[in-house]
Structure formats: C-alpha cells, structure tokens
Structure 1
Amino acid sequence: MVYSAAYSLACEQILVLLAGAVCLFGSWVGMRHFARARATKGTTRHGWLLMASIVTGAALWASTFVSILALDPLMASGFEPLAAGTVLVTAIIFCLLGFEIGSRHFTLAPETGGLVMGIGILAMHIIALQAWHIQGSLEWLPYGIALTAVPALGFSILAVNRANRPVTRWCRHGAAVSFACMICAVHYTLAATTSAVPDASVALPPNLLSANLLAVAVIGTVLLVIGNGFSTYVIDLRARTESADRIHQLSFSDAMTGLPNRIAFNERLAFDAAEAHENAHKLAAFSIDIDGFKDINDLYGHGAGDLLLIEAADRMRKQLRGREFLARQSGDEFLALTASGNHPHDAQAFAERIARAFAAPFIVQGHAFDLTVSIGFSVFPTDTPERDQLLSNAKLAMQRGKSTQHGSICAYSREMDDSARKRRALARDLDYATGRDELLLYYQLQTSLSDGRICGAEALMRWKHGKLGMISPGEFIPLAEETRAIMEMGEWALRAACRDAALGNIPGTVAVNLSPVQFGREDLAEMIQGILEETGLSPSRLEVEVTESTIMSDQSRGLHILRQLKAMGVTVAMDDFGTGYSSLATLHAFPFDKIKLDQTFVKRLPHDAAAAAIVRTVLALGESLNMPVLAEGIETEAQWDFLARAGCAKGQGYLFAKPVAVAQLPSVIEAAARFARDPAPASAIAPETVAA
C-alpha cells in the first residue's frame, strides 16, 4: 500500500511537471507570436493573433488534461470526446479574446485581456472535470472553485501584463513562466479541494477516451501544433534577420558605388580615432571632390554622371592599401581615412595616389572626360584633438584649395579655420543686419560731363556692424550672395533708394545695382513695380544696373525680365562694361539704355594709349547703338576732360563727390556745383596730345 501511494505520488509529480513543461514551451511560442502581432497592423496582425491563440490555447488544453490526470494517475478513468474538443475550442477562443483585448491601447487593456483568459482557463478546468469519468466518485469541497479561480485569474493577468508591459527583454519569458506556474498552481489547488474515492462497482460509460490514449493524443497533437508554431516563428525570425542584415548593409553602404557611406565612415572614424589616441598614432581624414562633375550632369544627363561616379569609385578603391578607408558621402564627394605614424607625409602620398587615379580620361557613353579631384586633408590630433572637427577641417582645406585651383591637394592650417570662423560669424550676423538697422545707403553723385551738372546718383550699400564697425562691401556683398541674404538686403536697398529719391533728396535718377541672386527672383519685376507704387517714385527716375554675367546664365529669362522693366519705364544699364564677357552680341540682344564703363580703364587715362583706344572704341560703340556711356572712377580733371572731349555723356568718381549718406547729400551737392561750366570744356585736351 505504501509502495502504491509512493508510486502514485511519483506519477503525479511527473505528470504535473509534464503539464508545466508543455504549458511553458507552448505559451513561450505563443508569446513570440503575440509579440509579432503587437508589432504589426491590419491582416498580418490578425494572422499573428490567431497563431498565438492556437498555440497558447493548445498548450493550455493539453496541460489542463494532463494536470487533471495527475489528480489520481493510477485510477481507471476516461474523458468524453465531445467535451475534450469543447475544451480545446474554449481555450483557443478565450486566448484569442484575451490577446485581442490585451493588445489594445486603453489603460488596463493587458490586465483586462489577462482576466478574460483566466476566466477561459477556469471554464476549461470545469468542463474538463465534468467530462472526466473515474471508476469511483469525485468529491468537491464547497470553496474549491473559488480557490481555483485565484491562481487561474491572477497568473493569467500577470502573464498578459508582462507580455504587454515589458520592462526588460526577459519580461515576455516571464509571461510563459506565469502560465506554467498557473497550471501547476491550479492543479495543486484542485488536488487540495477535491478527492477521488475509488469504487469498483462503478462502471465507466462507453465511448470514453481512455486516459492513456488521451494523454498520448494530447501530447502528440500539442507537440505538432507547437512545433508548427515554433517553425513559423523561426522562419519569420530568419526572414526578419535577413531583412535586417540587408537593411544594415544598405544603411552602411552606398547603393550605386558599393563603397561604405557616411554612416559607415562615421563609425570607422570613431574607431580609428580612439585607437590612434590609445596608441599615440596619427590619423588623417580626407575630403575628395570631383571637379566639374556638375557640368557633366547638366550636359550629358544623370545617367552619364552615375556611370562616371561608379568608375571613379572603382579607380579610387584600387588605390587603397593597408589601413586606408574610402567612403562616398553624396554626389561627387568622397571621404577617406588613413592611419599611420608618419603624417602628414603619408597623407600627402595618399592624396597624390588618389589624384593619379584620375590621370587617364574617363570614357562614358562614347564621350571622353578629363577630370581632376580637389583634395583636402587634416591630421588628428595634430590639427585638432576633436574627432568630429577632423572632417570639418578636411572639407575646409578642400574648399580652400578648390577656390584657388582645381585639382589641388591642400593640407589644413589653423589660419583657414580662423578665416572660416570669421566668415561664418559674419554670415550669421548678416542675416540679422536688416532687422537691426545696420544697413546703410550711401549715394555717389553722377554728373553730366558736358557741363558738370548733377544728373543723378548711384545707391551703394554699406554695413555698419554693431561691434566691428564698417565692413567693406567687397567682403560682405559676396557673402550675402552666397548665403542668399542679398535677397532681403537688395529689396531693402531698392525700397530705401526709391523712397529717398521720391522725397526729393536725390536730384535726377537714382541707380540701384541688382545682384545675380536677386535677378533669379521669379517676381522681380512685380517686386520693383510694388516698390515704385509704394514710394511714389516715377519709373523714369529709377535705373537698375546689371552685369552681363547676371543675365548670361538664363538668357531667355533675362531678356524677358529686362523687357518687363523697360515696359514699366525703368532704365536698364549694363554695369562694369569692359570686364567679364562684354560681348557685342549681348548689347545687341538685350534692351540696355546705358553702358557703364568700368573704372579699370578710366584710371589709366589720359596717358595710357591702350586704355585711351579702348575707351574711344566703347564710346563709339555706344554712339552707334544709341546707348549713352557713363564712366566710373573719374578722379582727375584730366580724365574728365578726355572723356568729355571723346563724347562720354556722364561720369562719376571722387573728383565730383565721394559716396555719402543721404543726410550729407545737400552739402555734397552744393560742393559739386563748382564743377558746373559751359558745355565746351575750356581745358579740353588736344586730340594729338590724347593719342600720344
């Protein structure tokens, strides 16, 4: 009897462990599926929820029957087949409901879903116990169901809570452990509140599933379901891993050239910089830019440009040795790293190898291209101890070298950084110059050379920096064009000049320069029209000055804008004639009203025969095209006399007046009145003297 009781207890423990193991593994697989469901949407989410419910429900169904058999493993017993199937359906339905509710986003969604699953598990045990027939009688204690409900509901709530509110990556494993603990706890609660009394006189109903047969069938079915679910999870995990590897590869490499990309470069830079610091070695970073690549894209299309980039990357890749690293940043920009203890000599040698890779012409789509690369480099920690600054230094060196000569190799120096830092600070302050009222307009008077009378003034922009004082226009105008701050500044200057002229401060016409950047505005003519209407200035008193290079980038559009301005009554002058293109075709094609002769030639008058010949040619050209000429930079009466004698209509320069603020114009106009004289200059230079 003692042997039989010990054997029964051992069988019970084995069956309980088996039930817990089945539940643990099955619910673990189910939790994996549930996690995938929570990470997806739509039909895919419903599919993963169904798989999670089937696997978890089957595991709970099997462990329920095994744990019931463990109540008295040696007693003859059996289960009603229909009830066994009902228990499985109940398990799956309640798991599906619990997972669906638990995956929602209201406050107690996980706990509510766990409660629903706990109710289902409790219902499963009740149905299974009702369907369990033994050769004897089963006695229940009155409070048995209530006690059984505590672990069933509590552990279910905890399981879904852990699956939905993970604090660490192990929390979802805790959900599976909770279900396994729940099965064991329910079993021992039932064992404590029920007792099976053997009675040989009780006959088992026919058509029952024997305990042994059911146990084998249940375990086999569950292992099949769980195995299928586990295989699905593994296949999905493998697919996601391969996808993640592919995404990682795409994230760290350039799809076109196959080189590492900027992200990979940053990681390599961090690693190499740390190693260089630890081993007291040096590290050089390179910025490599292909000269003239944009022109190839514009002329031959992006397809040709892509093929060229692929070949260029392949040529540079073949130059790599040892611990050298090459990456593509974007467009025609590449980055590189070299690590050694002999910089900058090794850095210079590497740059020269890269440059030699471009020595042979590139043959793309039947066209031959001779290309060069501009390379800048900086050495860590010699140039900077900051790894993030290293690449910025290299780019600065590349830009400095490229601005001087294409195909150059330029090493970083601290003077570059000081200059760039000052330039960046000026660019930042320039953005706020208009709002801070730091911009000023100076006016330089324009004079009729035949009689010395004032006929207008040119508006010249000045910048009085709050801390640095007056900044040279040669310094801030190119910077404003580069940063496009000139758009706002130019509109301010045009409005201020028109307002000053309309108020009577400026006699005659007021001339305002238009930057090439301003000329790119789609609404330029409309903007000028609006300013004229706002200030009340007559269009005939406004003269806009443009250089030939301003309109050459898009000639048809430039012609359209000039015609719009002419139609408004605004005068258009070609500025800086004699420099840049200065083509006769431009004068013929565009409706200019005036030519402004550049001061480069005026300053050499009257004694430079070549300059005198050029000036006469320009004046004759203007006369033949019916375009009056205004000469800039007149500083002496000899220059004035020569120009007046040669037929130049107007002039401006320090001889007549220096540029001044509008408040000083009255006194400057009064002082300039002394130049008024008869139309025939008394001091005209004889033609033979001029020609000498």
Structure 2
Amino acid sequence: MSQAVNGSFAYHQMLVLVAGSVCLFGTWVGMRHFARARATTGATRYGWLFMASVGTGAALWASTFISILALDPLLNSGFEPVATGAVLVIGIVSCLIGFEIGSRHFTLAPEIGGFVMGIGVLAMHFLGLKAWHIAGTVQWNVYGIVVTFVLGLGLSALSVSRANRPVTRYCRHGAAIVLAFMVCTMHYALTVTTIATPDASIIVPSYLIPADMLGFAVVGAVLLVMGSGFSTYLIDLRTRTESADRIHQLSFNDTMTGLPNRIAFNERLSFDAADAHEKAHKLAAFSIDIDGFKDINDVFGHSAGDLLLIEVASRMRGVLQPGEFLARQSGDEFLGLQMSGNHPHDAQAFAERIAAVFARPFQLGEQAVTLTASIGFSVFPTDTPERDQVLSNAKLAMHRGKTRQRGLICKYLREMDDGARAQRALSRDVQMAAGRNELELHYQLQTTLDNGRICGAEALMRWRHPKRGMISPAEFIPLAEESEAIIPMGEWALRTACRDAAEGRIPGTIAVNLSPVQFSRDDLAETIHAILLETGLSPKRLEVEVTESTIMSDQARGLHILRKLKAMGISVAMDDFGTGYSSLATLHAFPFDKIKLDQSFVKRLPSDAAAAAIVRTVLALGRSLGIPVLAEGIETAAQWDFLAREGCAKGQGYLFAKPVGLTQLPAVIEAASRFADDEAWSMPGIEPVIAAA
C-alpha cells in the first residue's frame, strides 16, 4: 500500500497499471465505435456516437477513480456519492459533444472536438479529486495545474485528430494509446505536485462511499460497460462480414453478362467506403460507357448487341485484380470500384487496363467491330467525403471526357463540379427569367432584296442575367428546352412581339421562332390564337418559324398543328433550310409560306462555288414550288447583289441592321430606309451600312 507523508503522494504501482489498462481498452473500443459513426449517417450515426461516448466516458471515469485510489494513503478516505456520479455524467457528455464535433467535415473539427473532450477530462479529474475526502489537508501546486491543462487539451486534440484523420490503419490504435497516455500523465502531473498533510482532527464523514467499496463498484461497472461495447463491436463486425458474404451472393444478378448489378454495386460501395475509412485507404469509383453502342444495335440488331456486351463483360472481368470490383449498371454502362492506398496512380492504371480490352476488335458474325470506352473516375475521400457523391463525380468526369473525345480516361476535378454546379444554377435561373422580367426581345429587320425596302422583322429572345449580364441564346435556350421553361418563355416572346407589332412599332410582318418543346403541346394553336385576340394583331402579320427537325419528331401531329395555324391566316416559314433533313417530301406535304436559307451558305457567297451552287438550287426549288426564299446572314453588298440577281426574294443580316432592342429600333429603321433610298445601293462596290446597336 501507499503511504501518506508530509509531501507528495506515492503511487500504488499495481493500481496505476490497472487504471492505464482500463483507460486503454475502453478508449480503444470507443475509438472503433467513433470510426463506425464517421462512416454512417442518420440515426445509425448517432447510435454509434452514443456507444463511443458511453464506452470512452466510462473508461475515463473508471481510470480517474482507480488512479485516485492508487494514491489512497493510510488515512481514512471516501468519495461523495453525488460528485462521483457527476464525474461519470461529465465524462460521457464531454465525449459525446467532442465526438459529435470531431466527426464533422469542416476544417479543424477533430481538433475542436478533442479540446472539448480535454476540457471534460480536466473537469472529471478536478471534480473527482474534489469529491475525495481524506483525514488530512491537500494543497494544490499552480505549476502542476498548468501542466495538467497543457497535457489534457493538447493530447486529447491529438487523439481525436488521429482518429478522424488516420494516415495508416494503426492510427486509431494510436489514438486510444494517446488518450490513455494523456489520462495517466495528466493525473500524474496533477498529483505529483500536490501536497497532502495528515490531520487526525479531521474526521471523514460517514455518508461518503468507502474507497475499497468504490473500487469494486468501479471495476464491475466498467467491465459491464466495456464488455457491452466490445460485444456491440463484434456483432457489427460480424454483421459487416455477413453483408460482404451477401454481396458475394448477389455478384451474379445480371443474367446476361454475369456481372453484379447496380444494387450489388451500391452495397459494395457502402461496405468498401466504411472499410476504406477504417483502414485509412482510398476508394476509387469508375463510370465506364461504351462509345457508339446505339449504332451497334441499329446496324446489327439487339441480339448482336447483347452478344457484344457479354464479350465486353468477359474481357473486363478477366483483367480484374484483388480489391477491384466491376458491375453493370444498365445498357452499355458499367461501374467499377478499386480499393488502394496509392490513388490516383492505381486508379489510372485500372482505367487503362479496362480501356485496353477494347483495343482488340470484337467479332459480330463475319464483321469485325472496333469499340472504345469513355472512362471517368473519382477518389473517396480525396475528392469528396460523401460516399454517394463519389460515383456522381465519376459519371461527371466520364461525360466531360466524352464531350471532348471518345475513348478518353478522365479524372474528376473540382473544376468540373464547379462547371456543373454553375450550369445547374443557370438552369434554375432560366426557369424564373420570364417571371423576373429578365427577358428581352431584339428585332432584326428583314428587307425585300430587289429594292432594299423593309418588309418585316424577326423577334430574337435575349436574356439579361442579373449577375452575368447577357447570356448567349446558344447557352440558355437548350437549358430552357431541357427544363421546359421554354414554354412560358416562348409564350412571353409571342405575346410581346405581337403587342409591339400591333402598336405600330414594327413595320410589316413579325416573325417568331417556335421551339420543338412548344410544338409538342397540343394546345399550341389555341395559345397563339388567344395571344392574337389579346394583342389585337392581325394573323396576316404574324409569321412563325419552325425547323424541319421540329416537324419530323412527330410529322403527322406537326403538320396538323401547322395546318391549324395556316387556317387562321398565320404564315409559316421553314427555318434553317439546308442544315437539317431538308426533305422535299416535307415541302410537298405542307405548302410553307417561306423558306429561310441558312446563313452558313450565304456567308460563303459569292466566292465559294459549292455554296453558290447550293444557293441556286434552293432558289430554283423555291420558284418551282411557288415559295419565296429569305436569305439569312447577309453581310456584304456582294452577297446581296448575288442573291438579288439569282432571284432571292428577301433577306436579313448585318448589312441592313443588327438585332436591337425596341427602344433602338426607330433609329435602325430610319438608317435602313435611308440606305434603301440611296440610288447607289444597287451599284457594284457599295459599302455595307451597319446600324449601330
């Protein structure tokens, strides 16, 4: 036994060893539970945090009082019951708060959580020593208190940091060792500088818990708590092992290729992510897409395509190595996983092995087919700490590479996510653009080429974003069509253009483009009719422009809608003629009022012989069908002269006027009229007149 003298305490070595062992084992179990909490979400996460806090807090509580019992002098001593219980509560609560903060993903979260735990441990020791009564007096040394604070806060922060940011698989064992070492050294620093003086006149109150009784109670309670915690860990480990076995049983759910399916992949991803966190490894997720596989089905048939997928799966399965997993998501898309401590180098090597299986041609009957695969990959937790996000990152990388070139291997970069996030934000903004009055209509004048007189204008939608300024139609129109925001935007454009024309601000005919999405609505004709009634514009002054691809998506219904518009007296123009199907059958099935010749041909006039031949053919076709042709993109007098001589009826382009807003339109009309009145307009060598926007 230890002895009490007029000086510092003397340790009972066996009890000190017991205190350290209890703290080490309890914190080791707690850190394992903490690691499981980091790898889970929702209610399960809080369950693991609670188990980690109870186990670690009870171990710290036990080691505190066992260490105090190791200092028990030959004097009578005991512990206050309420304070003793309060020490346990402080230990559990401080661990719960510290682990909760430390399990978050913001910067310095582990260190802050460790500081909270350190404060709790300090409070436990001071309250525990305060609850300890001896037949004597105790004097505290200020230097011992300072050292205790430094050791407690610093080592506890280091412990939670190592548990939260493991470098190797042994870091969590080290975290438990650091926490146990902290408790032992902190307690030693506190007590070795404390002076106890025996005093026979001091009587220990009878209501205190005797030291030997508390010792037995502490050991029994801690063994129960830690045994329960360790059993929970073993049960969880067994459950995870059984889950791995179940994943193995699900490994051949895709009946065609023999590969795991998407469900098995998700389970494997969940298991591997938890395992990667446990072992401080990294996990790479892959998205593999066969390029041009739809063409295989179209040319050779779906049966041949299925046989090709079986061969592809067999080849890819043949290059898998330990720690790698491959699944088929659907169609021609495959998913992969790879556990490694050397990412992204190993991930790149895995992707190159997969890409190499496509280097050798595939045999479909007597036909040899060469394929490529676009592959994207992302690494967990380097690229993202969220398990479910890593696959989305891999798919984003794959699609980004596919847009650049087929057959590329593309690693996820945060810039990709920034770009995708910006596109998603722009897509959300475009849906509210009409309601926020951010849309504008610009008008480009159309002229009669034989005399240069204004005969109408085309309405062009523009979007002035409140932060990004003017957004190109090539950027926001596809987003609006994808989200169907183009429907209210198109109605706004129709209503605004018709109102401006009805108020006399636009001369002649007003032309408005119709989106394929608008054309998919059965009530399109009725909507346009209601707008004409609302604005008071004569149907004869409205011209709608549609591309041939818009009609071809559902030709019967498209032609039916066009005939309804035609019956109202509305003119219909075929836009971008020469760039799409350019089917003579469509021109024959529906008598368009106008053909708009695409500017890609006009820009090459008159020097390009091929473009000139195409333009002459289109103009001849228009004359034979009795349909006037309007040429887009006229920028030079030479182009104007060529088109006028070849019999093109109308035109528009920068030579006459740029697209401008309604407020600038009167000045542009005046400039174009002066240009038409100039007798020199038809003479060779005329300089182009461009109205300033």
Q: TM-score with structure 2 length normalisation?
A: 0.57
1:444–1:659 Cα contact (<8 Å) kept: yes
Matching of residues 485-634 of structure 1 within 5 Å: 485-634=485-634
1:450–1:681 Cα contact (<8 Å) kept: no
Q: Secondary structure at the match of 2:327?
A: strand
> What is the Cα deviation at residue 363 of structure 1?
5.1
Deviation string 1:48-98 (CA, Å, 9 cap, x unpaired) is xxxxxxxxxxxxxxxxxxxxxxxxxxxxxxxxxxxxxxxxxxxxxxxxxxx
What residue is the counterpart of 2:442 in the other structure?
A: 442
Partner amino acid for 2:327?
A
CA–CA distance in 2 between the matches of 1:349 and 1:618? Answer: 54
What residue is the counterpart of 2:289 in the other structure?
A: 289
1:256–1:310 Cα contact (<8 Å) kept: yes
Matching of residues 160-175 of structure 1 within 5 Å: none
Matched, 1:455 2:461: no
Matched, 1:383 2:383: yes
Deviation string 1:299-325 (CA, Å, 9 cap, x unpaired) is 998887777656654554344321111
Partner amino acid for 1:478?
P
2:629–2:648 Cα contact (<8 Å) kept: yes
Counterparts in 2 of 1:662 and 1:683: CA distance versus 1, 3 Å: same
CA–CA distance in 2 between the matches of 1:383 and 1:370? Answer: 33
What residue is the counterpart of 1:328 in the other structure?
A: 328
Q: Secondary structure at the match of 1:676?
A: helix
Deviation string 1:236-256 (CA, Å, 9 cap, x unpaired) is xxxxxxxxx999977995576
Matching of residues 85-484 of structure 1 within 5 Å: 253=253, 259-293=259-293, 312-357=312-357, 360-361=361-362, 372-484=372-484
Q: Secondary structure at the match of 1:660?
A: coil
What residue is the counterpart of 2:670 in the other structure?
A: 670
What residue is the counterpart of 1:647 in the other structure?
A: 647
1:562–1:591 Cα contact (<8 Å) kept: no
CA–CA distance in 2 between the matches of 1:272 and 1:599? Answer: 56
Q: Secondary structure at the match of 2:654?
A: coil
Q: Secondary structure at the match of 2:423?
A: helix
What residue is the counterpart of 1:60 in the other structure?
A: none
What residue is the counterpart of 1:88 in the other structure?
A: none
CA–CA distance in 2 between the matches of 1:543 and 1:476? Answer: 23
CA–CA distance in 2 between the matches of 1:305 and 1:557? Answer: 33
CA–CA distance in 1 between the matches of 2:463 and 2:372? Answer: 39
> What is the Cα deviation at residue 334 of structure 1?
2.6
CA–CA distance in 2 between the matches of 1:297 and 1:678? Answer: 61
> What is the Cα deviation at residue 472 of structure 1?
1.2
Counterparts in 2 of 1:306 and 1:433: CA distance versus 1, 3 Å: farther
Q: Secondary structure at the match of 1:430?
A: helix
2:288–2:376 Cα contact (<8 Å) kept: yes
CA–CA distance in 2 between the matches of 1:459 and 1:267? Answer: 54
> What is the Cα deviation at residue 463 of structure 1?
0.7
1:641–1:685 Cα contact (<8 Å) kept: no
2:544–2:570 Cα contact (<8 Å) kept: yes
Q: Secondary structure at the match of 2:461?
A: strand
Counterparts in 2 of 1:302 and 1:432: CA distance versus 1, 3 Å: farther
Counterparts in 2 of 1:400 and 1:645: CA distance versus 1, 3 Å: same
Counterparts in 2 of 1:651 and 1:288: CA distance versus 1, 3 Å: same
> What is the Cα deviation at residue 458 of structure 1?
0.5
Partner amino acid for 1:518?
Q
Deviation string 1:216-251 (CA, Å, 9 cap, x unpaired) is xxxxxxxxxxxxxxxxxxxxxxxxxxxxx9999779
1:376–1:397 Cα contact (<8 Å) kept: yes
> Identity of paired residues, percent?
78
1:547–1:575 Cα contact (<8 Å) kept: yes
2:449–2:651 Cα contact (<8 Å) kept: yes
Counterparts in 2 of 1:546 and 1:669: CA distance versus 1, 3 Å: same
1:384–1:390 Cα contact (<8 Å) kept: yes
Partner amino acid for 1:671?
A
1:431–1:485 Cα contact (<8 Å) kept: yes
Counterparts in 2 of 1:532 and 1:589: CA distance versus 1, 3 Å: same
Partner amino acid for 2:654?
Y
Counterparts in 2 of 1:590 and 1:680: CA distance versus 1, 3 Å: farther
> What is the Cα deviation at residue 651 of structure 1?
1.2
Counterparts in 2 of 1:415 and 1:643: CA distance versus 1, 3 Å: same
1:592–1:627 Cα contact (<8 Å) kept: yes
Q: Secondary structure at the match of 2:601?
A: helix
Partner amino acid for 1:614?
I
> What is the Cα deviation at residue 590 of structure 1?
4.0
> What is the Cα deviation at residue 368 of structure 1?
8.9
Partner amino acid for 1:511?
A
CA–CA distance in 2 between the matches of 1:415 and 1:489? Answer: 31
CA–CA distance in 2 between the matches of 1:516 and 1:644? Answer: 32
CA–CA distance in 2 between the matches of 1:250 and 1:301? Answer: 30
Of stretches 370-379 and 677-686 in structure 1, the one that deviates more from structure 2 is 677-686
Counterparts in 2 of 1:627 and 1:481: CA distance versus 1, 3 Å: same
CA–CA distance in 1 between the matches of 2:327 and 2:652? Answer: 55
Counterparts in 2 of 1:407 and 1:671: CA distance versus 1, 3 Å: same
1:645–1:685 Cα contact (<8 Å) kept: no
CA–CA distance in 1 between the matches of 2:554 and 2:407? Answer: 28
Bigger Cα Rg: 1
Counterparts in 2 of 1:680 and 1:669: CA distance versus 1, 3 Å: closer
What residue is the counterpart of 1:658 in the other structure?
A: 658
Gaps of 5+ in 1: 1-244, 687-692
Gaps of 5+ in 2: 1-244, 687-693
CA–CA distance in 2 between the matches of 1:353 and 1:251? Answer: 21
1:518–1:524 Cα contact (<8 Å) kept: yes
> What is the Cα deviation at residue 270 of structure 1?
3.4
CA–CA distance in 2 between the matches of 1:509 and 1:451? Answer: 17
CA–CA distance in 2 between the matches of 1:491 and 1:296? Answer: 41
Counterparts in 2 of 1:642 and 1:468: CA distance versus 1, 3 Å: same
How big is the alpha-carbon RMSD for the aligned residues of Structure 1 and Structure 2? 3.6
2:449–2:649 Cα contact (<8 Å) kept: yes
CA–CA distance in 1 between the matches of 2:533 and 2:248? Answer: 60
> What is the Cα deviation at residue 351 of structure 1?
2.8
CA–CA distance in 1 between the matches of 2:298 and 2:425? Answer: 34
> What is the Cα deviation at residue 286 of structure 1?
0.8
CA–CA distance in 2 between the matches of 1:383 and 1:635? Answer: 50
CA–CA distance in 2 between the matches of 1:285 and 1:574? Answer: 47
> What is the Cα deviation at residue 565 of structure 1?
2.7
What residue is the counterpart of 2:635 in the other structure?
A: 635
What residue is the counterpart of 2:108 in the other structure?
A: none
> What is the Cα deviation at residue 446 of structure 1?
0.8
Deviation string 1:649-685 (CA, Å, 9 cap, x unpaired) is 1111222222122233223222221122489954057
Q: Secondary structure at the match of 1:447?
A: strand
> What is the Cα deviation at residue 597 of structure 1?
1.8
CA–CA distance in 1 between the matches of 2:537 and 2:473? Answer: 27
> What is the Cα deviation at residue 635 of structure 1?
2.3
Counterparts in 2 of 1:310 and 1:584: CA distance versus 1, 3 Å: same
Q: Secondary structure at the match of 2:582?
A: coil
Partner amino acid for 1:265?
F
> What is the Cα deviation at residue 345 of structure 1?
4.0
Q: Secondary structure at the match of 1:506?
A: coil
Counterparts in 2 of 1:332 and 1:573: CA distance versus 1, 3 Å: same
CA–CA distance in 1 between the matches of 2:431 and 2:496? Answer: 18
